[in-house]
Amino acid sequence: MYMKNIENWQVISADLKQTFQNKFTNNVDNKSVIKMKNDGDITDRDLEISKFLFKFRFATLAQIHKFLGQGSSANSLKSRLEKLVQYRILNKFMLGEEEEDHLYPDAFAVYCLDLGGKYLLTHYSNEDTSDWYVITNMKASEIISKDILATEFYLRIKETCSDKLVYFNLNPELRVARKNVVPSFEMCLKINGQNRYFIGEITRQYDFPLNFRQKAEKIENLLITNAWKKYYYDSDSEPILFIFAENDMVAKESGKVLSETTSIQNFRISTDERIQKVLFETGAFLKYMPELQALKEIKAVTFKPEQ
């Protein structure tokens, strides 16, 4: 059994296996990739797609289409992506209970960078590709699910308040004392002329109780000490924590863990479904009310576009 294209990426199960369109190899010809770009066979838009997948690792056809805007149809974009997979600029995979020997036409497809894409970015962008290897794409379905959600939230911000967005960084590696803290993402928004920072953590039911509690403890050590100033030096307050849960039940559980096991107070919660709402309208984000052990729908005016 495998995920089909009619299914929602928000319900990617744990323990699914990847089946890639192309077997990864180190024999992709660097010179041919550069020649194709120089001859115009690889376009500037192809380069933008490669940058996007380098930055966010995984994306669906719909997400790439949303990133590029509505200049072309999803069908024509799909044809172009298939050509880039053929060129080994990109690769794609499906998810299933077992690894298969090929992709099925009706499978839910996820796109990622291939070695030719690394060569392309090395020559035609200022991205630092030195730490990128093909094994970057080999991940558990749990991680893929979270990365795709982070990509979706980034795209929603771009749609809602792109004028505020300074940067969005997936899985930053932060150090607190001798421990690594790796949230799902960090981002910076310019609000009233000041840089404001946010850390996001994506969680699923299978993260409870142990994994999420341990992650919350690490994030707490970053936010309630001065450790955050090392990374967000131009801010006068610690980053706000966003939690993204798969549904309201997990959102409530997340709020309870943070409220009862940490000293973090400045956090807001949303879900896979709620971020599809207008981000600054009531209900896109939630506040946990510890005295009631309940969630309250709020307005996140942070995401309201500048007037």
What's the whole-model pTM score?
Answer: 0.94
| One-letter amino acid for residue 192 of the chain | N
Q: What pLDDT score does 283 carry?
A: 97
| One-letter amino acid for residue 188 of the chain | C
CATH 3.30.70 fits 144-303, yes or no: no
DSSP 59: B
Query: With contact defined as beta carbons under 8 Å apart, do 4 and 107 qualify?
Result: yes
What's the whole-number mean pLDDT along residues 143-167?
96
pLDDT tens per residue across span 282-297:
999 999 999 999 999 9
Residue 249 corresponds to which tokens in the numbers above?
């039940």
What's the whole-number mean pLDDT along residues 17-40?
92
Among 67-71, 130-134, 248-252, whose mean pLDDT is lowest?
67-71
Q: Residue 180: name the closest of 223, 142, 218, 226 by CA.
A: 218
| Residue in the structure block whose two tokens are 């509505």 | 70
The three-state (H, E, C) secondary structure of 154-201, written as one string: HHHHHHHHCCCEEEEEECCCEEECCEEECCCEEEEEEECCEEEEEEEE
**What does residue 244 show for φ and ψ, rounded to 5 degrees?**
-115, 115
User: Where in the chain are all domains bearing CATH 3.40.91?
Assistant: 144-303
Q: Residue 271: name the closest of 262, 289, 257, 283 by CA.
A: 283
CB atoms within 10 A of CB 8: 10
What's the whole-number mean pLDDT along residues 15-28?
91
Residues in the chain, total = 307
CA–chain centroid gap for 116, Å, is 22
Query: With contact defined as beta carbons under 8 Å apart, do 33 and 42 qualify?
Result: yes
User: Where in the chain are all domains bearing CATH 1.10.10?
Assistant: 9-139
Q: Is the predicted pLDDT of residue 6 greater than 90, yes or no? A: no
Q: What pLDDT score does 7 carry?
A: 67
- Angle, CA of 186, 136 and 244, to the nearest 5°: 35
The CATH architecture to which 9-139 belongs is Orthogonal Bundle (1.10)
Q: Number of helices (H) and strands (E), helices first, in the chain? A: 8, 12
